[in-house]
Amino acid sequence: MLTQGQTRWSILPSNAMADLSPLRTLSRSFLAGEPTVEQIIARGTRILGRWWPWLRPVAQRYVKTFSDRTRPRHRDGVQFLLDDPRFARAWSRHFHELSVAQWLIEPQQIQPVAAAENWGIPEIESPGALAEWFGISTGELRWFSDLKGLGYKKGPLSPEAPSLPGAGEAIWQHTVD
């Protein structure tokens, strides 16, 4: 049953829910490089294996939605596509034709945005550059990021925590001075 304000075009068909990999990969392609309409269309066309007429208006709305903000997360891009009426209509009409023709294999670069120009911090475009700025290895950086959400607890059986040599001074120099 549809709720108020919904049409049959505003929800994905149930048989399309089984494979959302084209949608997720398209969202990743939107995030993978320069956030310009032409670049998004080029990456989207490469990912989907052909040009689609709905891609330009979706790319234009994407750029307009996220232009004055920091770079969106992948889940924000997926949600944007799910909420976009033109994409929902295209998905419902062509979901059986949409597939991933080419997967993204380039490493993602951190994308500085206009909103961050006056933050007074250096441009760091990769995890390796961030680790270098802190004076640590990328392995130590991964440890500090706590990707598994374990939290560091010091105890007799816990491993010794790596240290950030000079990190406090580096942060202080680049943000306060």
pLDDT tens digits, residue range 18-59?
A: 478 888 888 998 888 888 999 999 999 998 888 899 999 999
Given a cut of 90, is residue 61 above it in pLDDT? yes
Query: What is the C-alpha to C-alpha distance for residues 56 and 40, in angstroms, rounded to an integer?
Result: 8
Q: Whole domain around residue 151: which residue ranges?
A: 127-175
Q: State which of 94, 112, 137 marks the end of a domain.
A: 94
Q: State which of 52, 77, 94 marks the end of a domain.
A: 94
Whether 2 is covered by a domain: the verdict is no
Whether 77 is covered by a domain: the verdict is yes
Concatenate the DSSP letters of all residues of the chain into one string: -PPTT--TTSS--GGGTT--HHHHHHHHHHHSS---HHHHHHHHHHHHTS--TTHHHHHHHHHHHHTTSSPPPHHHHHHHHHH-HHHHHHHHHHTTT---SS---SPPPP---GGGTTS------SHHHHHHHHTS-HHHHHHHHTTT-------TTSPPPP--TTHHHHHHHHHT-
| 18 and 76 both lie in a single domain | yes
pLDDT tens digits, residue range 95-142?
A: 788 878 877 756 556 666 666 677 777 777 778 888 888 888 888 888
Residue whose token pair is 């010091």: 154
Residue 55 CA, chain-centre distance (Å), reads: 18
Q: Are 158 and 152 in contact (CB under 8 A)?
A: yes
**Both structure tokens of 104:** 């993204």
How big is the chain, counted in residues? 177
Mean pLDDT for 55-77 is 89
- DSSP-derived secondary structure letter, 50: S
Residues whose CB falls within 8 Å of the CB of residue 168, separated by 6 or more in sequence, listed in order? none
Query: What is the C-alpha to C-alpha distance for residues 35 and 52, in angstroms, rounded to an integer?
Result: 18
Q: What is the pLDDT of residue 80?
A: 93
Whether 133 is covered by a domain: the verdict is yes
pTM across the whole model: 0.56
Higher pLDDT, 12 or 122: 122
| H helical segments located in 72-126 | 74-83, 85-94
| 84 and 141 both lie in a single domain | no
